[in-house]
Chains A and B, each alone.
Chain A
Amino acid sequence: MNKRISLLALPLILAACAVATPVPTMPPPTATRPPATATARPPTTAAPTAAPTATAVPPTATPKPAPGTGTVMTHDSFAMSNAVLAAFEAESGITVKVLKAGDVGSALNKAILTKDAPLADVFYGVDNTFLSRALSAGIFDPYAAPALRSIADRYKLDPQNRLLPVDYGHVSVNYDKAWFEAKKLALPATLKDLADPKYKGLLVVENPATSSPGLAFLLATIASFPEGSAYTWQQYWADLRKNDVRAAEGWEAAYYGDFSGSSGKGPRPLVVSYQTSPAAEVMFSEGKLSTPPTGNLDAAAFEQIEFVGILRGTKNRPAAERFVNFMLGPAVQADVAGQMVVYPVADGTKLPAEFVQFAPAPKNIVTLAPDIIDQGREKWIEAWTKIVLK
């Protein structure tokens, strides 16, 4: 009996082993760092796209080659195609080492903490909600990358070019198409509609204190219902609370735990997520879906722009510059949509078909200036917590 049950527990492991191909052994952990590229990337996939990347870095940007290692500190969501990165490494002679340091806030915090002896040469992933804080901490050096020419001015939030835009996305409210069709309920058209008793108990948001889209959505409501107007954002959130809004800790919990439109079995048909989430549902459906099961409300969408910058005190400035050029160049710009589900900032970059079809630009983009966000964040989150949670 005992053995029989043991056998039942094994298929899980066996299933993995059956499909597994032999992989190189992980080198024993050593105090000295192993070369960054040793095990993770099979070199075979590098060749095909080497050519397009060669044009990514303008030859004028760095006159002499900058070999050695370039270290990039970033948040956990950073992703890139193997081929694109390998081509950059081959072409520049730079070995790219990536350090992931938690979510955006945590990663930035770690960069600020280590500003006297920076852990990396480049930091990628500061967004407009943290831009002011990052700049005032003085951890970035200016760099007027040539590729800035092909980026629209609206994304360049730092006139001194200490932080250079790479990509952007929008935080918006997704809805469960099947749920609204089944209930024959009209979609909420505005933020204000979400506080309508018709939509009671349908919305899940993220806690702005612990979640980046949560904060972005709070900022969207602050931009839409400013203090001093007839109807303030504080009143709005009090009304949302009356309407039984649920505040989840993070995006994962909200989207997969509470939202009914995706793969989780949540109860709520409205969720604060990204404008690109419906497109991602199709991209990551194993080809089973041709249209997304979810859609975006036309209510306010908050624009999040992500930046890259050279860390002050870098020991390899030429490599740092080449990496920044690379991030702003055509190869990475064409890659970000497929890898990180965000829009590239460079003009004329080709987007994946799913993006064109299912992630159109939001109708109603709102934003707030970075310095206003920085001054307000702490007291806004404090107030939000009192209104919604206490």
Chain B
Amino acid sequence: MLAAVRSLPSAVPLALPFAFLAVFLCYPLATIGALSAAPSAVSGGELVATLLRPEAYFETVVLSAAQAGASTLLTLALGLPAAYAFARYRFRGDRLLRALAGVPFVMPAVVVAAAFAALLGPRGLANTALQGLLGLDQPPIQLLGTLPMILIAHAFYNVSVVIRIVGGFWSAIDPRLESAAATLGASRWQTLWRVTLPLALPAIGSAAALVFLFTFGSFGVVLLLGNARWATLEVEIYRQTAQLLRLDVAAALALIQMLATVALGLVNSRLQARTAAPLAMRLAADTRAAPRGPGPRALACFAAAVSLLLCGLPLAALVAGSLPLDGGLDPNSLFRYFIALERNPRGSAFFVPPLEAIRNSVTAATATAGLALALGLPLAVGMTADRRRGPVVTPALLDALLLLPLGTSAVTLGLGYIVAFNRPPLQMVGSPWLIPLAHTLIALPFVVRTLTPALRALDPRLRQAAAVLGSPPWRARLEIDLPLLAQPLIAALAFAFATSLCEFGASLLISRPEFPTVPVVIARLLSQPGALNYGQALAMSSLLMGVTAAGMLLIDRLQPNHEL
């Protein structure tokens, strides 16, 4: 009884996030489940029958998992060294380089495909340059439509997930732990294998799980840059709903995708619980130093190379495409696609100037970031609550369930919203609020995943010391925990902001053409032939890139900067 009463305070902060997930995730999905159970105009009533026919989805699941596994490994291989360098070293342009690595995360897939085609395509920059240099007849790089292309594009998209989550964690770990290992005679490699990597395992696991889920459910990248052989469950779900109007089959596949997500989440949180250790967390600014010696310098160079080559080059190809050089450097010609964005020569009724679209996007992203943090922080705190007081829910299960929004089929959820929110008490189809609410759903797992490893690593003795010294618990939280959590909190904010800017699946909702966000404008421009439409789409993408980079830099600046 007493234990129940005492665990009550940790239940209160969880109530709101749970209510949110129940209303905006479970309720719409249950509505679709109920609709597809019986035969109707949109369902053959074969929800269960499809589940019992594994041959209908087995191959897709296995191939997607193999692709996602390979994508995750490549992303980690590139992201971990970069994350370490950004966390530990101060070098020229480090903030900008890190912001650059975060930009791909928000680019719409269609635009990314165009960027890679402009860079690596048979007539792209790389091939043209190589052919000129080596005097070749055939383009030497033939990547479009292959698995390696998918993996590169996935690494391009997700490397910032690793840099943010693992880097945010590393930057809060006291570097003296490594120094101590070195003092005790450990070689550089031994320190890496025995200290640096094991300490960060919870964060690495978190990041890997997110990257895996993203690439497992990848929709645009796989089909635009790869080929349909590597099509994921989400593609099949889209096909079943949009083309065949078979809600039952789609719901069955969506269920399988969610089960796979929970399974992955369970494995991941078991690993996390086993590997987490309370650490002396430090302010991020204290842990960074100039890279000294060949090893650290090489790492810093590697981080710069990941940002510039993997993320920067395709983005540069995109910007190059938006700045036509045929009229020389005359600004009226060079910036003509940007200028054209402001004009509406055909007098189209749904024309929206770019600044307004940017404002819509930034408004939605800010709302998402605020909402996701307001819901995610209590959730993360509740999940990592002191075990001795008895957690309200099994943390492992909760942790796994929290990944669900990422594993949820956006297509199915979009349909769920339309049915569930088209009747009282929640009549809100077409409401502009639905966009940040839907985005928050996707951002929430990021926020929680970024915060929990850091929260678990907080040394409770610091708070106990404060209590001994007469400080009330809230003050210990505010004055000790919060500054130590600054870096992960900022990473979480950045993710929530970025998730919203790139508009995961929001096009699957019903939209009002008066309030388009930037990705919606880009998609609209790309849907018609003509140099002007294409150029304007690239120009708008360049603007989106600029806004993202600016947003990321701004969020980075929020960090308390204690120069010592």
Contact = CB atoms under 8 A, between A and B. Distances in A.
Q: Is chain B a partner of chain A in the same complex? A: yes
Interface of A: 1-2, 5-6, 9-10, 12-13, 15-17, 19-21, 23, 25-26, 28-31, 33, 36, 38-41, 45, 73, 76-77, 79-86, 97-103, 105-106, 108-110, 112-115, 117, 119, 133, 136-138, 207, 209-210, 215, 246-253, 255-258, 260, 262-267, 273-274, 277, 280-281, 283-286, 288-289, 338-339, 341, 377-378, 381, 385, 389-390
Interface of B: 35, 41-42, 92-93, 95-96, 110, 113-114, 117-118, 121-124, 144-145, 220, 223-224, 227-229, 231, 235, 238-239, 241-247, 319, 335-336, 338-342, 344, 346-356, 358-360, 363-364, 367, 415, 418-419, 422-423, 428-433, 435-436, 507-508, 510-515, 523-524, 526-535, 542-543, 545-547, 549-550, 553
A85 B353 CA distance: 19
A26 B515 contact: yes
A23 B355 contact: yes
Contact of A10 (B124, B523, B546): B546
A251 to B, nearest CB: 7
A40 B352 contact: yes
Contact of A249 (B224, B244, B340, B530): B224
Nearest to B97: A5
B349 A41 contact: yes
Contacts of A26: 356, 359-360, 363, 515
A109 B241 contact: yes
A109 B546 contact: no
A284 B533 contact: yes
A113 B144 CA distance: 38
A100 B430 CA distance: 9
A31 B433 contact: yes
Nearest to B125: A265
Nearest to B367: A29
Contacts of A10: 546, 550
Contacts of B513: 40, 98, 100
B531 A286 contact: yes
Nearest to B222: A249
A12 B543 contact: yes
B56 to A, nearest CB: 11
B512 A98 contact: yes
A84 B208 CA distance: 53
Nearest to B99: A9
B236 to A, nearest CB: 9
A12 B545 contact: yes
B235 A263 contact: no
B531 A288 contact: yes
A265 B118 contact: yes
Contact of B353 (A20, A215, A338, A385): A20
B370 to A, nearest CB: 13
Contacts of B113: 253, 257
B41 A137 contact: yes
A248 B231 CA distance: 12
Contacts of B121: 257, 265-267
B57 to A, nearest CB: 14
Given A138-B41, A281-B530, A284-B529, A114 B354 contact: no
Contacts of B526: 252, 256
A110 B430 contact: no
Given A2-B95, A280-B529, A207 B523 contact: no
Contact of B512 (A99, A207, A273): A99
B243 A381 contact: yes
Contact of B228 (A207, A280, A339): A207
Contacts of B342: 19-21
Given A36-B512, A103-B242, A105-B245, 8 more contacts: A29-B363, A40-B351, A98-B513, A119-B429, A210-B238, A248-B224, A252-B526, A285-B530
A39 B516 CA distance: 12
A102 B531 contact: no
Contact of A12 (B110, B122, B319, B533): B319
